[in-house]
Amino acid sequence: MINIKNLDHQYAYKISSLRRGNDGTIKHTCNIPYKSITIDMNSNCFLCYCDGYLPIPVGKVSDFNSIEEVMNSTIAKQIQDDVTQKKFTYCATDNCGIKYKSQSLPSFKLFINIDESCNLSCASCRREILMLKQGDIFETKLKDLKRIISWLEKFNEPITIVMSGNGDPLASNILRPLIKDFSPEPNQYFEIFTNGLLVKKHLAESEIFKKIKEMVISVDAGSKDVYEDVRSPGKWNVLMDNLEFLSNSINKNKIVLKFALQKRNHNDINNFVDLVERLGFKGIIHELNDWGTWNYYEVETPDAWTIVNGTYLEHDVLKSNHVLYNKTISTLKNITSKKVELSTMIRDIINAE
C-alpha cells in the first residue's frame, strides 16, 4: 500500500479533492498505467494522462534512465497491480471515465508538461507572461528534458509524445532542443497543444513537423478585435499567417482549433465557426475552466487586475443564472457546421434544456 501521508502537499491535496476508489460497481478495465507517463512541472512522473486523476508520483525524471525503468519502478508496480485488480484506490473514478467504459491506449504516450512558459497572458489562464530563460530552475529542467530525450532515443515501441502543460511548448526555451534537434524514429509521433503563433518560426523546419498526429490550437475567437482581447498580447495577423501556413502544408484533419467560451467571446461563436470552415480544420467549443486566475466571486477589495478583468462567475456564460446564458445557448444550438463539435459538458447542458 502506498503511504499517501508522505506525498507533497500539492499531491495530497489532489488526492483529497476528488472521490477515489471502486465502490464495487466498476467492472471495466484500464491499461493506462501500463501505457502512459505524464511528467509535471516538478519533473515528477505519473502513470496517467492526467496527474489529477492519479496524483501519485512514481519518481522524478532524474531517478530513471529509461521509460522501462519508470514503468517497472516499485511504486509503478503497486499502482499497476491496484488498477489491474480493479481497486482504483488512487484513481478519480467519478471523473476519468472508468465508470462508463474501459479506458485503453493502443500504444504508449508520453506527456511532457515540465514548463509553463508562454508568450501570451490570457486572462483565463494567467495574469502575466511567464517565460523561463535562465537560472538554476531553468538549468535543472533543461537537464531533465535532455534525459527525457535519451529515453526516447532508447525506446523501441510505438510512442506518441504529447507536448502540452500549463504553457506553450513552442514558446518554451526548455523544450526547444526536442523541437529543434530531435530526430524521431519512424514509430514516434507528436501531439502538440499550442496557441499557434510560433509554428512557422520554431516548428516548420523541425523534423518533428512531419510526424505530427494532431495539433490543437487555442484560438478562443473568430475575429481580430475579440482575439486580441482574449488572447493578449497575441496579434490576429500573426495567428492568421500561421494558420494559413498550416492550411497549405499539413493534413487539415490534424488541426483542431479550440474555443473556450466566456463572456468576452460569446458574440464571436459564429465567426469562429466560419473561420474553421474557411480553413478546413476541425473545431471544438468547450466550457471555461477555472484555473484560479480570476477570483471566483466578487471580493470587497479587488486588486487592480480584478477590477479590469472581473471574476470567474462574470465570465462563465454557461451558468444557468448568467445574464447571457439563454442567448449563448441559443447560438450554440444553431450551429450546423459538421466541422465544429461541442464539448460533452456543453452538449449535456443543451440536451437538458
Distance CA 17, CA 341 (A): 30
Q: Which of 211, 239, 259 is the last residue in one of the domains?
A: 259
Which has the closest alpha carbon to 272: 318, 329, 337, 326?
A: 337
Total Cβ atoms within 10 A of residue 311:
15
Write out pLDDT tens, residues 280-304.
Answer: 999 999 999 887 788 888 888 888 8
Terminal CA-to-CA distance of the chain, rounded, Å?
A: 45
| 46 and 23 housed in the same domain | yes
The pairing of strands 44-46 and 59-60 is: antiparallel
| 192 and 286 housed in the same domain | no
| 306 and 176 housed in the same domain | no
- Cα 142 to the chain's mean position, in Å? 21
- Cα 249 to the chain's mean position, in Å? 24
Q: Specify the higher pLDDT residue, 298 or 241.
A: 241
| 24 and 93 housed in the same domain | yes
Q: Specify the higher pLDDT residue, 215 or 6.
A: 215
Q: Could you tell me the pLDDT band of residue 36, with boundaries at 50, 70 and 90?
A: very high
| 100 and 247 housed in the same domain | yes
Which three cell numbers, joined as nine digits, stand for 311?
471574476
Residue 286 carries which side chain, given as an amino acid letter? Answer: H
Residue 83: pLDDT above 90?
yes
Which three cell numbers, joined as nine digits, stand for 150?
535519451
| 148 and 190 housed in the same domain | yes
Q: Specify the higher pLDDT residue, 231 or 127.
A: 231
Average pLDDT, the chain: 94
| 240 and 283 housed in the same domain | no
Distance CA 58, CA 71 (A): 9
| 181 and 303 housed in the same domain | no
pLDDT value of residue 164:
81
Per the structure, the complete domain to which residue 270 belongs is given by 222-230+260-353
| 32 and 168 housed in the same domain | yes
Distance CA 116, CA 165 (A): 7
pLDDT value of residue 6:
79
- Whether the ω angle into residue 302 lies within 30 degrees of 0, i.e. cis, is no
Distance CA 324, CA 267 (A): 10
Q: Could you tell me the pLDDT band of residue 244, with boundaries at 50, 70 and 90?
A: very high
pLDDT value of residue 300:
83
Total Cβ atoms within 10 A of residue 77:
13
Total count of domains within the chain: 2
* Beta-bridge partners for 295: 311
Q: Could you tell me the pLDDT band of residue 165, with boundaries at 50, 70 and 90?
A: low
Q: Could you tell me the pLDDT band of residue 308, with boundaries at 50, 70 and 90?
A: confident
Average pLDDT, integer, range 4-28: 87
| 162 and 237 housed in the same domain | yes
The pairing of strands 108-112 and 36-39 is: parallel
Beta-sheet strands, E only, within 28-117? 36-39, 44-46, 59-60, 108-112
Write out pLDDT tens, residues 166-185.
Answer: 789 999 999 999 999 999 99
| 195 and 242 housed in the same domain | yes
| 246 and 161 housed in the same domain | yes
